[in-house]
Structure formats: C-alpha cells, structure tokens
Amino acid sequence: MKPTYFPFTDVSDHVAEALSACFGKFILYRLLSGNITEPLQVWIDRGVVDVRVPVSGNEDELITAVKNYQAWADLHRGSSREKAAILKSYTDPIPFFNELSTRKIVEDIKKNIPGNSSTKVPDPVFSAQIFLYFAQKFDRQNRELAEDLNHHQQQEAELIRQLKMEEDPIAIEFRNIPANLPDPFADYMIADRLEAWTRVFFRDPEESGLFVTHSAAVLEHLLDRASTAARVMHLDSIPLSGRNTAGRESWQERLDLDLVRLVDPDPIDAGGKSMEPLDLPAADKTVSLSVYRVPDQTPHEFFARCAEIDWPVADVPHRKSRFRSTHIALVEPPGISTINQRKKENSGKIVKRA
C-alpha cells in the first residue's frame, strides 16, 4: 500500500525514514520535474519516494513567476512595507506569510508576466503552485535552521561536560534531544496549505486510497470537519531501522496486507489469514501509526469539502473513484495523543485494531 504524503511538497530525512518504516514507499507531489535536492534524491534512488508532478506544462511560467516575486521583494526592500514587516517580526515568528497576502503577491507577480493582463482572472491552480513553492522553501530553510541549532546545542553540551568533567543537568537535556524532531513550522497556515495541495492533488490521474501526514495539527484540522471519522488501526511502536532483515520484511508484508484490506474496496484473497496483532520487534527508535476512515466520501469529495472547494472542479476530468471512503494516516513519535484522538477515545468512536 503506497500512500500519498500531504499537504507538503518536500519531506525531511526523519519523516522519510518514518514513512519508509511504515509503508516501504510513498508518493510525494512536486511542483517542478527538476529541482530535486540531494537528500531527496537519496530517498528516490532507494525506491522509497515516488515523485509525481500532477500539474505540468507551465513550469517555465512558474519559474518566471518565482523570479518575478524575488525581483518584487528586492524592489520593496527598504520600503515602508518592509520596515513594517521587520517591526512585526519581533512579535510574530513568521512575518513572511502574515505580512503579505498570498493572493496579492500572486496578483502582483502575474502583472509582470508577458501575456497576462491585470484584468485576467487569476488561475487558482497556478496560485496554489506559487504558494506551495514558497511554503516548501520556507519549510526547508526553517528545518535547516532547527537542525543547525540542535547540532550547536549538542556541541555546547559536550563542551560543558568536558570542561566540568561531569554531566551538567541542563546540558543533559540538550544532549538527549531526539534526532527526529517534529517540524514546528509545518503546522502553520494549515488551511491554506491544504487548499493549495488539494488543487494539485485533483490533477493527479492516478488515484490513491491512503493519505499520510506527520502533522498532528493537520489531522486535527481534518477530523474537525469529519464527524463520522473513526480510527480503524493503531500501532504504537513501529521500529525504525535501515536493516532489511527477514523478520522485518515479514511484519512489513503483514502490515501492508492489513492496510490493503482496510483501504481497498475490492475483497482480496488473504490466504485465509485474518487481521491479527503484529509481533513488532523491540527497538530504540520507533514511531506510531494511526489510520482513520472517513466513510462514504471519496478522496476527491473529502479533500474538496475540507478545503472549501466546489467539487467537481470545472477543468478537472471527472473520474469515478474506486474508493468509496477516504483513509488518513498519521505517523508520529509514540506516546503522543492529539486532541481529536482523545476526543474520539472518550466518545468511544475509535475502532481499535483487533
């Protein structure tokens, strides 16, 4: 079962490792056929990431728009608008997205693209591509900063230990920071990210029945809009390991079979085997996997409703979905419970894995 990762168009190493442990491989939407970073290329070469570019044919226009935006930003450098953004940054950790309206930026950019007039109705898909491009760049830069800060703190902790010849209580906290830190900026502008990603998702001709995110806030946002959703699978300690042992391949195959049974609307021959608890090996680094089902809503219908987009979309070929329900998976460090998970545990809606 190969899920589609959402609502992001880039993936960090620790998230790719976690998704690989759970599913073996996953689908990642990109905005350009090129522009692949070196870390991402490693996961592509390993067969873990299946890169898709659902929107094609306007790459030159998108690149031009990005360059025009950067020129637009340089033009406004030192202006009163930038000064206001700098002042605002002292109270707002992410001034870029809050200070500048995405639609206004897209409108200003498209005015400078040959063949576009100021009266032309903005293309929502193109606007979504531009938004996702800068969101992707923003996420990558903040992830690099967080990794550099983490590395600096660990070096500082080690230096303190060497100088004092003993462990410092405060330094120990820095040394014990987990390697797979959650991305603190991935939860920003969730509704905007989902709307933009959904418009790109509509253009993918290959249908997916399972969608996965590493953001608990994204899951919470969706479950708030899906009163009939129920958790149908939960595994708390899936081991992270790059070694392909026989035992590892065995439980991964069983997990994949269980996921296919949950998601695929057509019955499959499981050789008489029923869904039983997986015997997961112990490991120092693990992740948890939760799968939710939204019944009686196809993926297109569900994401369109959550993103407040009228479905069907006029310029998207209407294809009958083979999936009658939508399945959303969350992969995260074990022991973390989202607000909606606790709500559903209290209400008894969760269907625990047998």
Please list the rounded mean pLDDT of every run of 10 residues in the chain (354 residues): 94 92 94 90 96 93 87 67 44 42 57 55 88 90 79 74 65 49 69 96 92 95 95 90 61 87 72 61 86 95 94 81 94 62 43 40
pLDDT at 141: 83
Look at residues 292, 285, 264, 260 and name the one whose alpha carbon lies nearest to residue 273.
260
pLDDT at 354: 36
pLDDT at 167: 59
- Whether 214 is in a domain gets the answer yes
pLDDT at 339: 42
- Whether 179 is in a domain gets the answer no
- Whether 177 is in a domain gets the answer no
pLDDT at 94: 38
Stated pTM of the model:
0.77
Q: Which two tokens stand for residue 271?
A: 């050789």
- Whether 299 is in a domain gets the answer yes
Distant-in-sequence, close-in-space partners of 215: CB < 8 Å, separation ≥ 6: 183, 186, 187, 190, 330
Rounded CA separation 299/314 (Å): 17
DSSP annotation of 268 = -
232 sits in which H/E element: strand 230-239
pLDDT at 66: 86
> Helix 59-75 and helix 102-111: axis angle, to 10°?
100
Per the structure, the complete domain to which residue 48 belongs is given by 4-56+188-315+327-347
- Whether 68 is in a domain gets the answer no
By the 10 Å C-beta count (0-12 exposed, 13-18 middle, 19+ buried), 24 is classed as middle
Q: Which two tokens stand for residue 240?
A: 């992270």
Rounded CA separation 133/130 (Å): 5
pLDDT at 155: 76
The total domain count for the chain is 1
Q: Which residue has the tokens 């009658």?
A: 324
Angle CA(133)–CA(141)–CA(303) in degrees, nearest 5? Answer: 40
pLDDT at 109: 58
- Whether 133 is in a domain gets the answer no
Distant-in-sequence, close-in-space partners of 208: CB < 8 Å, separation ≥ 6: 2, 3, 4, 27, 299
